[in-house]
Structure 1
Amino acid sequence: MTTIEETRDIERSWNEIKSKIKEATKREDEIVEQDEDIKKEEVEEAVHKIKLGKAEEANNITPEMREGMEWSPGQRYALIRALHDRRGFLNAFTQTCPKCPKPKKSQNVPMKPSANSSLGAVPKTSLAKWRSWLQKVGVFYKNFEISSGQVIALLDTGAEISIIGRSGINLLESQGLEVQSPDNVSAFTAAGVTQPVQGMVRIPITINSSTKYLTFWVIPSFQRSSLQHLGYMIDTEGLRTCSEKVSAIKEFSKPHTVAELKRFLVSVSMKELLNTALVPATPDFSQQFFIQTDASDR
């Protein structure tokens, strides 16, 4: 038989063994958790560098462009991408990352949160606010008259092309303006299709009492009444979210493995492809407004 002291020694030894096992298990769990955290940080850092590096390398971001990155996600994704042409430096406005500067709400633009959008608040505002945003990025619409008819066109001093719709060309031709037919010229649209450019015309535009001839490309789908793009519906009433489009973005999980990261980068590449494409849709700019041009070297 064992004595009381021997029993206590056995219990003491067993408790020491259990504490050592528990400590070793805890240390192993900490190592595993730390390893997982390192992997997550590496993935996030890789995505961050790819996004920001591509933007800075391809677009040469200036302080003015950085200021634009402080706009709300709704403004960056919907407004700029829906109303510009293929001007490359605007890619900088679509770079979103947890380690990038957080977007700030504009103090003079009323913002209302949207329950359907994972991209943030969606601007619900007047046409005057739309025009002020357009002026900030050097993109503006000009509603000009030829005889008794009015034509709306997209002007951008930093763009590769300026655009006019086919409906306006019929009026221009009736007024004696010559419309040239370019050979094998096309434009890639946000719908993922390539549309042929139907013509090219030089139109006299008067700005601040100075008349200049600007070259416009004729895009058949320009001046559409509505368009869905990047989870938003853009029409004459403004912007609103499309829940079925946004749900895919909301359900996209953060990549943790190499395979998931590859799938994520494919999605990023597709998003960049859509973001640099032409979106020929306009809100209603029939009311009078002031025009401001972009004087930068871009």
Structure 2
Amino acid sequence: MRILQSRSLISTIKLCLKSYKTQLHYSSEASISSLSTLFNQYVDKTNVHSWNSIIAELARSGDSIEALRAFSTMRRLALIPNRSTFPCAIKSCAALLDLGSGHQAHQQALVFGYESDLFVSSALIDMYSKCGELTDARKLFNEIPLRNVVSWTSMITGYVQNDDPYEALLLFKKFLAEEGEGEGEQVALVDSVALVSVISACARISSKIITKVVHGFSIKRGLEEALGVENTLVDAYAKGGEVGLSRRVFDGMVEKDDVSWNTMIAVCAQNGLSTDALEVFYDMVNGSDVRCNAVTLSAVLLACAHAGALLLGKCIHDQVVKMCLE
């Protein structure tokens, strides 16, 4: 019964949001007050879970400003946030690179005793990292008594995003050491998401040796076929000068998405292998269900330029114009 009620609540909230977005589309007068009016009509505005759902839905759909407005309105109503409220609010601060609002959310998490919650602290680490405040992010990370894989991944990713791949790899080494020392179900284990960030660090330092070591680790852990891991390996090997290994990983992929195809086309084009780039593009168009996009066509145009394929380049440019991707 509780699950059905929860689904009903989420459905109602989505309808409210749809109506609110329609108002925004047709009128510049729409504001958070109109959203509150919709809440008053259809949702219990005194219910924290209702507000959590609306904040989460707004954050999920990319409406970060509205998510923060909803969070502020909830606080003005003197409702007490819980451990589910903060991650989405903090995620919205990160998306907007709004350090001021992030600090406020952090202070409120402290006041209500949720700073040490793993999901809240991981969201804060991500927010501070995205805002370029690595010192604050690392301080929070170091204070977490029992880290999970999300905590580790957030901090490693923060270093990669802030162009400090060596520190990211050192932290990964520490992660493995802590993983080896731990016991029981509470031990944080490296997953495919963490590996994507680690391999991205390898790509940043253009080290084929470290990339091979991490690739071997992914095979040992059975994570080598995760799509994100394979896509990042294609890029990392190429940046380390191993285009052949990059192509081998690509050819061995069971599943490919637009990132897979775009990365391989770009790798070939950037390394003077224009014919290979155009062949991969041909396979993408004729042998897969993946649709090309602006990134694809940009890489193909580069290949055409290197190959002197003027006619094909003009055809691709015409397609760019038709798709309104200029």
For the criterion TM > 0.5, the same-fold answer is no
TM-score relative to the length of structure 2:
0.19
Larger RCO (CA under 8 A, 6+ residues apart): 1
Q: Which has the higher strand share?
A: 1
Q: Which has the higher helix share?
A: 2
TM-score relative to the length of structure 1:
0.20
